[in-house]
């Protein structure tokens, strides 16, 4: 029997169900009476998975395997494509690969159960041939060349490569033209066998769905036999310092682009502490660098910044960093101004008024997400991946105090943790 747990929020008047299926698959069903239903079927197998061991044997994959597999999973033995079936059901579908996971997605207003059934079926019944894989190598090679020609993409990737010594998060998710040329049907089937097991996968649904009906579909498509997930992804040691502080290249841009990265290796093992750090860092960055703040307006008026400057903190169990990006005629001087702003905040202290405002903004943004089945599905996937419960967020935010932000400000942003990546006009 599958175990079903119910989570409720009195504040939001919402609830969802967490189901431990007999197969090992984790299922999350968030009933919501809205026009569309959103589904995400994800697997813990992303672009950063290159080396792992299984039954005492080491396995090294070509870079780009997870992304390549995402493309090929849509092929059916009869020559059709999974997209065609979703289209016939009046649904939208898509997929993406990140460093940590691969996800297959659909959105539908009708035929929801048929969409769920099809989603589960095509992701768990791979079909590859030498001909189709060879053809896909050419398609993805074009995608790789397109990314290399994209100055925004290159600026970001250059930042990660300069920031990390060993962390595979710096690996380009698409791989390289050389690495994908080594991918064969046998390699893809091996990835499916080792990673696409129910215990390593998660199904999240938000919309007009019934938990019992979803369990019946999973029973029918996935089955109830339990196959243990046994792959052991290789760990790595990552120094606190960056690999190099500055990287630059020239491309066809009208104005210099920049990505400023600030490396953070103090990643808490406890996901709740990690989420507290995530929220705290993002609140702190908004207080220091938001478009409504004095610093941004001063940089804009001086011509050091163009509109569109963005800052944020990215965090997972494997990596964490601050990133600021935009356009500037003098990125090196801008970086110095950013460092001065951080030092000024340390000297003068943080404003409690600004803190309370930003904290309320973060909470209101969380509440607003519940008006979208898509936002709920993605948030639930993110929280559940880390073993957390979606309605814990208000407690996480409330635990962020001004004193905690002051600690983050004083303990982070070390001089040797900064990276500046610049794309200048040819």
Tell me phi and psi for residue 51, to 5 degrees: -120, 135
Give the pLDDT of residue 78.
79
pLDDT at 49 > cutoff 90:
yes
pLDDT at 1 > cutoff 70:
no
The conformation of residue 166, written as its DSSP 8-state character, comes to S
Helix (H) or strand (E) holding 272: helix 271-289
- Rounded to whole angstroms, the Cα distance separating 378 from 374 reads 6
- Rounded to whole angstroms, the Cα distance separating 228 from 423 reads 46
* Contact status, residue 206 vs residue 381, Cβ threshold 8 Å: no
- Domain end point (choices 233, 264, 286): 233
Are residues 167 and 255 both part of a single domain?
A: no
The conformation of residue 54, written as its DSSP 8-state character, comes to E
Number of domains present in the structure of the chain = 2
Are residues 260 and 389 both part of a single domain?
A: yes
Per-residue DSSP letters for 320-387?
A: EEEEEEEE-S-HHHHHHHHHHHHHHHHHH---HHHHHHHHHHHHHHHHHGGG-HHHHHHHHHHHHHTT
Domain containing residue 138: 3-233
Judge whether 240 lies within some domain. Answer: no
Are residues 64 and 176 both part of a single domain?
A: yes
416: domain CATH number is 3.30.830.10
Judge whether 204 lies within some domain. Answer: yes
- Domain end point (choices 211, 233, 255): 233
Sheet of 246-251, strands arranged across = 246-251, 418-425, 257-263, 320-327, 310-315
What is the C-alpha R_g of the chain?
Answer: 23
Tell me phi and psi for residue 414, to 5 degrees: -65, 150
Are residues 110 and 185 both part of a single domain?
A: yes
pLDDT digits (tens, 9 = 90+) for 354-363: 999 999 999 9
pLDDT digits (tens, 9 = 90+) for 223-277: 988 888 999 999 889 999 999 999 999 999 999 999 999 999 999 999 999 999 9
Buried b or exposed e, range 254-266, using 16+ CB within 10 angstroms: eebbbbbbbbbee
Are residues 56 and 175 both part of a single domain?
A: yes
* Contact status, residue 126 vs residue 189, Cβ threshold 8 Å: yes
Averaged pLDDT of the chain: 94
pLDDT digits (tens, 9 = 90+) for 111-157: 999 999 999 999 999 999 999 999 999 999 999 999 999 999 999 99
pTM of the model as a whole: 0.93
Give the pLDDT of residue 291.
82
Judge whether 241 lies within some domain. Answer: no
- Rounded to whole angstroms, the Cα distance separating 28 from 30 reads 7
Handedness of CA 296, 302, 308, 311 (dihedral sign): negative
First to last CA, the chain: 64
The 3 state secondary structure assigned to 87-121 is HHCCCEEEEEECCCCEEEEEEECCCHHHHHHHHHH
- Rounded to whole angstroms, the Cα distance separating 49 from 55 reads 17
Token digits for 14?
């919402």
Are residues 250 and 139 both part of a single domain?
A: no
Other Cβ atoms within 10 Å of 233 Cβ, number: 17
Are residues 51 and 112 both part of a single domain?
A: yes
| Catalytic site positions | 70
- Domain end point (choices 194, 212, 233): 233
Are residues 39 and 177 both part of a single domain?
A: yes
Are residues 122 and 59 both part of a single domain?
A: yes
- Cross-strand partners of 323: 261, 312
- Cross-strand partners of 207: 31
Are residues 291 and 224 both part of a single domain?
A: no
CB-based contacts of 187: which residues, under 8 Å, 6+ apart? 61, 62, 65
Handedness of CA 349, 354, 358, 364 (dihedral sign): positive
Judge whether 238 lies within some domain. Answer: no
- Rounded to whole angstroms, the Cα distance separating 164 from 241 reads 8
- Rounded to whole angstroms, the Cα distance separating 388 from 281 reads 19
pLDDT digits (tens, 9 = 90+) for 364-376: 999 999 999 999 9
Query: What is the CA angle 175-180-182, rounded to 5?
Result: 135
Are residues 301 and 225 both part of a single domain?
A: no
Number of continuous H segments (helices) and E segments (strands) in the chain: 15, 15
Give the pLDDT of residue 3.
85
Segment among 181-195, 287-301, 372-386, 399-413 with least mean pLDDT: 287-301
Give the pLDDT of residue 374.
97
Are residues 125 and 71 both part of a single domain?
A: yes
- Residue 248 burial (C-beta neighbours within 10 Å; 0-12, 13-18, 19+): middle
């Amino acid at each position: 029997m599958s175990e079903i747990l119910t989570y409720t929020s009195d504040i939001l008047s919402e609830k969802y169900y967490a189901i431990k299926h007999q197969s090992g698959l984790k299922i999350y069903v968030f009933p919501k009476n809205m026009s569309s239903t959103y589904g995400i079927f994800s697997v813990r197998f992303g672009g950063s998975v290159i080396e792992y061991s299984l039954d005492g044997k080491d396995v090294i994959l070509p870079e780009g395997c997870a992304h390549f597999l995402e493309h090929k999973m849509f092929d059916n033995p009869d020559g059709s494509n999974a997209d065609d079936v979703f289209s016939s059901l009046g649904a939208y579908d898509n997929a993406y690969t990140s460093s940590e996971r691969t996800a297959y997605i659909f959105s539908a207003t009708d035929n929801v159960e048929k969409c769920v059934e099809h989603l589960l079926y095509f992701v768990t019944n791979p079909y590859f041939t030498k001909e189709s894989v060879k053809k896909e190598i050419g398609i993805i090679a074009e995608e790789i060349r397109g990314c290399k020609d994209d100055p925004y993409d290159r600026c970001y990737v250059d930042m990660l490569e300069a920031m990390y010594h060993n962390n595979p998060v710096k690996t380009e998710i698409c791989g390289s033209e050389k690495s994908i040329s080594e991918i064969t049907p046998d390699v893809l089937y091996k990835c499916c066998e080792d990673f696409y097991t129910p215990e390593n996968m998660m199904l999240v649904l938000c919309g007009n769905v019934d938990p019992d009906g979803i369990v019946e579909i999973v029973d029918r498509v996935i089955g109830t036999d339990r196959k243990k997930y046994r792959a052991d992804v290789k760990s790595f040691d990552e120094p606190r310092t960056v690999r190099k502080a500055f990287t630059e290249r020239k491309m066809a841009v009208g104005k210099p682009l920049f990505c400023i990265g600030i490396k953070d290796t103090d990643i808490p093992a406890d996901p709740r502490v990690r989420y507290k750090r995530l929220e705290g860092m993002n609140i702190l960055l908004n207080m220091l660098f938001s478009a409504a703040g004095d610093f941004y307006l001063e940089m804009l008026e001086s011509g050091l910044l163009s509109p569109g400057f963005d800052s944020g903190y990215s965090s997972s169990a494997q990596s964490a960093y601050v990133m600021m990006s935009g356009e500037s005629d003098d990125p090196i001087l801008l970086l110095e101004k950013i460092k001065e702003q951080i030092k000024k905040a340390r000297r003068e202290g943080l404003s409690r008024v600004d803190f309370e405002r930003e904290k309320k903004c973060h909470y209101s943004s969380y509440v607003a997400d519940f008006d979208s089945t898509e936002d709920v599905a993605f948030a639930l996937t993110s929280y559940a991946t880390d073993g957390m419960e979606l309605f814990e967020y208000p407690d996480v935010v409330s635990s962020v105090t001004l004193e905690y932000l002051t600690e983050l400000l004083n303990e982070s942003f070390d001089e040797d943790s900064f990276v500046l990546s610049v794309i200048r006009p040819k």
